[in-house]
Amino acid sequence: MTYIKPKFRHPEMPKNRVGYAKSDYEGVISTLCAGCGHDSISGAIVQACYEMDIEPHRVAKLSGIGCSSKTPNYFLNNSHGFNSVHGRMPSVATGANMANRDLIYLGVSGDGDTASIGMGQFVHAIRRNLNMLYIVMNNGCYGLTKGQDSATADAGSVSKSGSVNPFEGIDLVGMALELGASFVARSFSGDKTQLVPLIKAALSHSGFALIDVLSPCVTFNNNPGSTKSYDYVRDHIEALAQIGYVPEKEEITVSYEEGSTVGVELHDGSVVHLQKLADGWDPRDRQAAMRRLQQAKAEGEILTGLVYVNPESKDLHEVIKSDLRPLNSLKEEDLCPGANTLEMLNEEFR
């Protein structure tokens, strides 16, 4: 197996504002199954970062263990990555963020990694409003260990082995809302037009941003009985709102009709425009979001889109009042109180 991609670049490949071609955002060749939803999400991440003019090395990509958690190898080759242990990406991301508040933290996880073994860490990363984008590549099963039901598998869905899942699935969007996450969205790996803008909006958001992406496992969970299969998702998707991400510098208002748009200013000054569906959707109302979600669930629909955002939320650093400089950039002079102070402190112990 080869991990080395041909480095040849077309000279006329278009570059973005920071001078990178789209291929500069790619990773090594994926070893996932052909057609795996996770690969589409990797593609959306590449697209979003390229379009957002992010310098790739300013991104730190982190993951747990699983097919999904392998993907950071398949995007953003110029970013440092941390493939941690199963279910523990959130704590590693928390520490990384504590050390350097200036990077963009992109965490990728699976539904097994997040909703089973990682549930505790997931909940607490939300509670701390850690400034990161947390993408769950949600296929309702454990891909890498050969297709066992995960905790997000819906009750009644049938796995490849023919067994019917008897337990209620956990809705990560519902949980995140209940826990007060400041950016909560859901999308579908096959829907780049929705997913790419959501990723962009989430990357601009200051605070914890969850995108729960339904991402069918073609090998183990793409049979008609499964509610996380392509066909099922395609049939049951209910888009909440279309979202157009507009960077501050170059606002476009053309494509959105007056009256059907809510502009939400994100923390970095950029604006997310939401094209609402009939019900006049305002993603800034958490209680309404919870109700809307329950309603869709009751109707058997999967709500996608930006369900909730609180652009005013305080991230962990604001809460714990840490220095504005990245802590990892501080030097001895900044940190070590020195011998004289120590002599003074000794005195307090006599």
Partner 1 sequence: MQQLTAINDLVVRFANVNGTGSASANNMFAMSIFRMGIPVTAKNIFPSNIQGLPTWYEVRVSEKGYLGRREGVDLLVCVNPQSMKQDIASVKSGGYFIYDNTKNLHKDFIREDINYIGIPMIGICMRLYQDARQRQLFKNMIYVGALAALLDIELEVVKGIIADEFKKKPKLIEPNVQAMMEGVKYVQENYESPLGLRVERRDLVGDSIVIDGNTACGLGAVYAGATVAGWYPITPSTSLVEAFAKYANRLRTDPETGLKKVAIVQAEDELAALGMVLGASWNGARAFTATSGPGVSLMNEFLGLAYFAEIPAVLVDVQRGGPSTGMPTRTQQSDLLLAAYASHGDTKHVLLIPSTPTECFNFMADAFDLAERLQTPVIVMTDLDLGMNDHLSAPLKWDDSRRYDRGKVYTAQDLDALSAMGKQFGRYLDVDGDGIPYRTLPATHPTKGSFFTRGTSHDEYARYTEDGVKNAEVLNRLLKKWDTAKDITPKPEFYQTANQSNIGVVFFGTTTYAALEALDLLKQEEDIVIDAMRATAFPFHESVEQFIEAHDQVFVIEQNRDAQFRTLLINELEINPKKLIKILNYDGMPITAEAIRRQIVGVLATV
Ligand X SMILES: Cc1ncc(C[n+]2csc(CCOP(=O)(O)OP(=O)(O)O)c2C)c(N)n1
Give the three-class secondary structure for 83.
Answer: strand
CB 221, min distance to partner 1, A: 12
The partner in contact with residue 252, picked from ligand X, a second copy, ligand SF4, none with C-beta cut-offs of 5 to 8 angstroms by kind, is none
Measure the CA–CA gap between 114 and 84, rounded to whole angstroms. 13
Q: Which two tokens stand for residue 286?
A: 């958490």
Between 62 and 101, how does the x/- string for binding to ligand SF4 read (CB under 6 A)? -----x----------------------------------
Among 47, 84, 116, 159, binds a second copy (CB under 8 A): 116
171 binds Mg ion (CB under 5 A): no
Among 160, 290, 301, 326, binds a second copy (CB under 8 A): 290
Smaller CB distance to a second copy: residue 2 or 287?
287
**C-alpha torsion sign, points 170, 175, 181, 184:** positive
Residues 213-252 that bind partner 1 (CB under 8 A): 219-220
Phi, psi (deg, nearest 5) at residue 88: -115, 15
Q: At what angle do helices 192-204 and 37-51 cross, to 10 degrees?
A: 50
Q: Which is nearer to a second copy, 35 or 120 (CB)?
A: 120
Binding segment (CB under 8 A) for partner 1, from list 146-154, 174-182, 201-209, 281-289: 146-154
Per the CB < 8 A criterion, the answer to whether 181 and 246 are in contact is no
**Which residues share a beta bridge with 188?**
214
In the shown chain, the binding pattern of residues 167 to 186 toward a second copy, with x for contact by CB under 8 A and - for none, equals: xx-xx--xx--xxx------
Distance CA 154, CA 179 (A): 21
Choice from 21, 119, 262, 327 touching a second copy (CB under 8 A): 119
| Minimum distance of ligand X from residue 214's CB (angstroms) | 12
What is the pairing mode between strands 271-276 and 261-265?
antiparallel
**Parallel, antiparallel, or unpaired: how do β-strands 241-246 and 271-276 relate?**
antiparallel
